[in-house]
Amino acid sequence: MLVSANWIEDFLTSPLSETERANIGEKLTLHVAEVDGVKAHGEHLKNISVVRIEKIEPHPNADKLRLATVQLGDGSTQKVVCGAPNIQEGMRVPYAPLGTSFPNGLVLEAKKIRGVVSEGMLCSAAELEIGDDHSGILDLGQDAPLGKAMHELLEINPDLVIDIDNKAITHRPDLWGHRGIARECGALLTPEFSDPYGPIWLADIEKKLPTNESPVPVRVEPDTCCIGYFGLAVDNVRVEPSPKWMQDRLAAVGLRPINNLVDIGNYVMLEIGGPLHMFDRTKIQGSEIVIRPAKDGESLELLDESTVHLSTNDTVVADSNRALVVAGIMGGEESGISDTTSQIFIEAATWERTAIRKTSTRLGVRTDSSQRFEKGLDPHLMKTTVLRAFELVLQLCPGAKAVGKLAYDGEDLASIKTSPITCSIEKMNKLLGGEFSSAEIQKTLSKLEFGVAIDGDTLTVAVPTFRATREFEHPADVAEEVGRIRGYGNLVPAPPIAPISPIDPLPILRLERKVREFLPLHGRFLEVQTYPLVGEKLLSQMLWKETGSLVLKNPLSVEQDRMRPSLVPSLLSAIRENAKNFDKFRIFEVARSYHPSSGEEQYARESREVIIGVYEADGSDPFRPVIDTLEPLFEFLGAPAQCVATSEKVPHPLLPLDWEGRHPFATRTFTAYGKCLGEAAEIHPSLLRSLKIKGRLAIGLINLDAIAERSGSEKSHYQPLSRFPSSSFDCTVVMQPKDELESLMSALRKFKEKEVLDRKIVTEFCPTPEERYVTVRLHFGSSTETLSGERLKALEDSVLKHLDKNGYPLKTG
C-alpha cells in the first residue's frame, strides 16, 4: 500500500520535520509495519526548469540526433544533444541541468554523445513522471515563464511516498488508510494526531442533510453477510475531471484519476480506509435497495467488463429486478457512473470478512475494496465514509444537494461495543521485560485513542472499535501496544530469570537435523521449502492420483485449496521453475505430507518425509547419484536399508506403483525392518516433456516416521577412526546391456570379508549398444593393523573371482 507523507500531515497538528520525513520509513518498520521503500515524488521537478530552444543544428556525427541551444531563465545558454523529432526553434520545454537526480536513479552527468558533450537533457512527460508519453519532448506552450521550476509550473507539491508491505498490516484493518497510519505517526513522532472527522464533524455534516426519508430506502434480508448498510441520495451532480489537488494525491499513491465521482470514492477509501460505491440513481429499478443472497446461477457484468456467475453463498446489493453489486467486491456495469449522471446514490456498508474472502476467492476477483473488507473493518467507520464522500461531492459539485436523510439498515451499531481489558502494571512490565511507568503507559495508549483508567497498580483499558474487530481482548495485547511504541530495540537486554536445562529433542527432530547436515555436505544438495498447500491443477499436471484429499473449507485460492498428499508434486514444480535458469542442480526438502484418517484414526495423518531431486539438463544419468546419496544417508540415520528392485511384494506409501510419472526401468525400493523406508525413481520422459523440462530428472524419498519408530531401539556406540591406512581397489567388469546395476551391487554386498569397508559403483561406459562396462570400487582396511601387500592382493583376487562367479568377468584388453 502506498502512503503519502503530505496526506498524513492532514491528520497531524503540525507538518513533519525534515528529519522525521527522512526517518519515517525506519520508524514505521520498527514500530508499526514493514516498509518496502520510500520514494520522493515530484522532488526532482525542483531542479527542472522552463527553457526556450534558440537554435537547432544537425549533429556532426549522427543523422538522428540534433544539437539544441537553449536559453535558461538567467539569459545564459546551454547546448543539449537531443534525438526527439518534435523539437522546434522557439519552443518552450523542460530542461534538466547536469546533476539532476531522477526517481529511477538516473543522475545526469556531462558525457559525450557521439562525440559531442551534452550539457543537460530536454525531457518528455514520461521522463518527468507526469504522464506516459515518451514519443517527444514536452511542449510547455509560449505562456510558460522562462526559468520557472517545473513543480511550480505544474503546481505539484513534492511529496514522500511510503510503500508499506500489505502482509504486514493484514491483522490491522485500521491501517488501510492514511488516517490510521497518521494515528501511529502521532504516537511515534513530534506532531500529535488530530482527527478532522470526529464527532463534531459528524454532527456538522449531518446538519446539512434533509430530515425527510430517503427516496431510496434500504433493506437487509436475513442470511446475508451484511453487518450494516448506509445509503445517501444526492442530486444535481456533474461528472467532470477532478481538481488538480485530488488528481495529484491519487497519482502519488498509484491510482489513475478518472472523473470527480469515481475519484471521490477512491480518495475516501485511501483517506480513512472505508470503501464505498456510487450508483447512477436513475438506473435503479423499483423503490428500494435490497441486500440479499444471490440467486443460484445469477450473473452480473462488473465494472471491469468481466461477468461473474454467483451462488446462494454470495451476497449482492440489488434493486427490485436485478443484482447491482457483488457485496464488498465490485459494482455492476449497468448501474455505474456515466458521463451523463446527475443523480447518485452513495453506499457504504460493512460485511462479514470471511464471507467476502470466500466469494472473492471463488470468483477470482480481488479488489481494493475486498482487500479491506477481508481484514474486518469497523462497522462504525461506514457512516463517516459516506458522509465524507458527501462532503467532497458538495465541494466538487457546488450545486449538489442531498434529497433525503441517511438511510440505514442492519445491526444496531450502538450495541456493538468493546469490553474493557483489566491488567496490572507489574504484570505488563514482566511481559515486556522493562520498566514502564503508569504515566508512560497512559500517554502511549491515549495517543493511540485507547481509553485508559489507572487505579494504583490496576490498569483498565477501553479498546476503540477500530481495533476491536481482530480479537484485541487480552492484557498481552495492551502490553504489545506499549512495547512497540517505545520500541523493542530500546528495552535493556537482561538474562532470563527462569532456570534453563537442556532439552532432549524428539527422535524425529534429531533425524531431520541429521538430514539437513548430511545432504549439503556429502551430496552438494540445496534445501528448498515449498508450500504444504497444493491445487487440483498441480496434482493433475504431475499425474498424481488422489485417493482422498484434505480439501480446505476456506482456501486462500483455488491453486492452494488442499493439503498436499505427497512431497513429489511440490518438488517437481520447484524443479520445473529452477530448470528454466540452471542446467544442473540438486535440491532436497524435509517436510510433511497429509492424508485423510483411515480405520480407527480420529484425525488426519501427517507423514514426515525427505525428498531429493537430481536434475541434469545435458542428459547425464541422475538416477545413480540418487542411489549413491540415499544409501549412505540411511546408514547415517542409523537405519541401513537394502536397495532392492521395486515390486508389489512391499507396500509403497511414498511413491505408488501406479504413478505414471515413475520410469518403469529406473526405480528402486529401500527396505529394512520389513518396511519400505525409501524410494528412488527416475522421472518418466513423457512427464518431463509435458512439464517442458529438458534433460533427465530423478527423485528419492525417505520415510522419516518409519525410521523414528525404531530410533533408540538399537543403541549407538562410539567407534574411533582407524589409526591404520586404508586402500582402495578399482576394477572394471563386463555387464550385459539389459542387466540392472542393482544386480551388480547385490553381488558386491555378498562378498563378505571383514576388511571390506565400503563398496560402490563408480562409472558406467557403453561404447556400443552391445557392450557395457562398469567400474566398481572397494575400500579395504582394518582397525587393528596395516594390511600387508599380500593380504590386499588376496582380497583383490577374491573380489575378481567372486564377481566372475556371479556373471561379471573382468574387462580385458
- Mapping DSSP onto H, E and C, the string for 243-304 reads CHHHHHHHHHCCCCCCCHHHHHHHHHHHHHCCCCEEEEHHHCCCCCEEEEECCCCCEEEECC
Residue 491 has phi, psi (to 5 degrees) of -75, 140
> Smallest Cα–Cα separation from 378: which of 200, 205, 172?
172
Same-domain status, 653 and 779: no
Distances (CA, A) of 691 to 296, 531, 538, 574: 37, 19, 11, 11
What pLDDT does 35 receive? 94
What pLDDT does 714 receive? 56
CATH number of the domain residue 119 falls in? 2.40.50.140
For residue 387, tell me if it sits in a domain.
yes
Domain's final residue, options 398, 415, 432: 415
What pLDDT does 320 receive? 92
What pLDDT does 772 receive? 92
CA distance 785 to 769: 45
What pLDDT does 135 receive? 86
Mean of pLDDT values over 247-260: 92
For residue 647, tell me if it sits in a domain.
yes
For residue 499, tell me if it sits in a domain.
no
Q: DSSP 3-state assignment of 236?
A: coil
Q: Which domain holds residue 465?
A: 421-490
Same-domain status, 108 and 173: no
Name which of 16-30, 65-79, 128-142, 366-380 the model is least confident about. 128-142
Cα torsion at 314, 315, 320, 325 (round to 10°)? -100
Same-domain status, 406 and 427: no
Same-domain status, 297 and 361: yes
Domain's final residue, options 440, 457, 490: 490
CA distance 577 to 575: 5
Cα torsion at 405, 411, 417, 419 (round to 10°)? -170
For residue 311, tell me if it sits in a domain.
yes
Same-domain status, 257 and 230: yes
For residue 86, tell me if it sits in a domain.
yes
Mean of pLDDT values over 255-283: 95
Same-domain status, 145 and 254: no
Q: Reply yes or no on whether the pLDDT at 812 is more than 60.
A: yes
For residue 810, tell me if it sits in a domain.
no
What pLDDT does 673 receive? 77
H/E stretch holding 536 reads helix 536-541
Q: Classify the C-alpha dihedral 192-196-197-201 as positive or negative.
A: positive
Which grid coordinates are listed for 786? Answer: 596395516
CA distance 456 to 422: 12
Distances (CA, A) of 265 to 77, 370, 549, 571: 47, 14, 43, 45
Q: Reply yes or no on whether the pLDDT at 775 is more than 70.
A: yes
Overall number of domains in the chain: 6
Same-domain status, 357 and 394: yes
CATH number of the domain residue 797 falls in? 3.30.70.380
Mean of pLDDT values over 54-79: 92
CATH number of the domain residue 528 falls in? 3.30.930.10
For residue 502, tell me if it sits in a domain.
no
Q: Which residues pair with 346 in a beta bridge?
A: 232, 278
Mean of pLDDT values over 435-454: 94
Same-domain status, 382 and 479: no
Which grid coordinates are listed for 38? Answer: 520510500
Distances (CA, A) of 780 to 318, 628, 722: 84, 19, 12
Same-domain status, 648 and 658: yes
Domain's final residue, options 415, 450, 468: 415
Mean pLDDT computed over every residue of the chain: 92
Q: pLDDT per residue over 687-699, tens digit each? A: 999 999 999 999 9
CA distance 16 to 189: 8
Q: DSSP 3-state assignment of 241?
A: coil
Q: Which residues pair with 94 in a beta bridge?
A: 50
Q: pLDDT per residue over 544-601, tens digit each? A: 988 778 999 888 788 899 999 999 999 999 999 999 999 999 999 999 999 988 766 6
The share of the chain scoring above pLDDT 70, in percent, equals 99
> Smallest Cα–Cα separation from 421: which of 486, 480, 487?
480
What pLDDT does 157 receive? 84
H/E stretch holding 347 reads strand 344-351
End-to-end distance of the chain based on CA atoms, in angstroms? Answer: 74
Mean of pLDDT values over 506-512: 92
Q: pLDDT per residue over 197-226, tens digit each? A: 999 999 999 999 999 999 999 999 999 999
For residue 497, tell me if it sits in a domain.
no
Q: Within the chain, what is the greatest distance between any pair of CA atoms?
A: 114
What pLDDT does 186 receive? 96
CA distance 597 to 579: 36
pLDDT-derived band of residue 402, with 50, 70 and 90 as boundaries?
Answer: very high
Mean of pLDDT values over 508-528: 95
Same-domain status, 371 and 320: yes
Mean of pLDDT values over 453-479: 92
Q: Reply yes or no on whether the pLDDT at 398 is more than 80.
A: yes
Establish how many alpha carbons lie within 13 A of residue 112's alpha carbon, considering only the half-sphere containing its beta carbon: 6
CATH number of the domain residue 276 falls in? 3.50.40.10
What pLDDT does 465 receive? 93
> Smallest Cα–Cα separation from 273: which of 192, 347, 372, 170?
372
Same-domain status, 694 and 587: yes
Q: Which residues pair with 37 in a beta bridge?
A: 163
CATH number of the domain residue 182 falls in? 3.30.56.10
Q: Reply yes or no on whether the pLDDT at 181 is more than 70.
A: yes
Same-domain status, 482 and 515: no
pLDDT-derived band of residue 713, with 50, 70 and 90 as boundaries?
Answer: low
Q: Reply yes or no on whether the pLDDT at 715 is more than 70.
A: no
What pLDDT does 712 receive? 59
Q: Reply yes or no on whether the pLDDT at 606 is more than 70.
A: yes
